[in-house]
Amino acid sequence: MKKSTSLVAVLIFLIQNTFVQTSHCDLVSDTCKKTPHPVLCVSILRADSRTEGSDVDGFAFIMVGEVEVKASDVLQKIGHLRKNKPLSDCQGYYVAVVQNNVPQAENAIDGGDGGKGEQLMNDVIGKADSCERGFQGSSPLTSLNIAVKDVSSVAAALARLM
């Protein structure tokens, strides 16, 4: 009798745990569907262990961190290229993203101010656009600027959903 009670308890635990994980995956999918790049959103959130047990606020915080990663990638690429005026301008934009926009957005999201987080991420999009426009013709940073803009637009949408 005791053996069957233990088995039932284990089965109940497994069913509940599966339901919680499934409903959390649904939260990620449902939330990401409300962003401009749902596939990108889902792939970033599912790859981050902090997503487990997070809510939309946590998702926004994680995505802002991804903006920092992408902006740092741009800065690294700039460091490997021969300096010229457009690259120096881009470096200034992305230093501001990493040193100002990202920390301020994280603080805003942590404080529950999704509107400010959204505004700061939209500002990052503007900086990436300004960087790209600084080149006459082909930019060596186009793909990185696009990646920053895409992740920033997802972060802005998640902040708006808070």
pLDDT (average), residues 43-68: 97
pLDDT (average), residues 116-126: 98
For residue 115, what pLDDT band results from cuts at 50, 70 and 90?
Answer: very high
Q: What CATH class is the domain 2-161? A: mainly alpha
CA distance 8 to 91: 61
Q: What is the pTM of this model?
A: 0.84
pLDDT (average), residues 37-64: 97
Element (H, E) at 147: helix 142-161
Q: Please report, to the nearest 10 degrees, the dihedral formed by the alpha carbons of residues 135, 137, 138, 143 taken in order.
A: 70
Give yes or no for residue 36 having a pLDDT over 50.
yes
CA distance 118 to 108: 9
Kindly give, in sequence order, each residue whose CB lies less than 8 Å from that of residue 162, ignoring residues fewer than 6 positions away: 56, 57, 60, 109, 112, 114, 117
Average pLDDT, the chain: 89
Percentage of the chain surpassing pLDDT 90? 80
Q: Which two tokens stand for residue 118?
A: 């959204």
Give yes or no for residue 10 having a pLDDT over 70.
no
Residue 158 or residue 82, greater confidence? 158
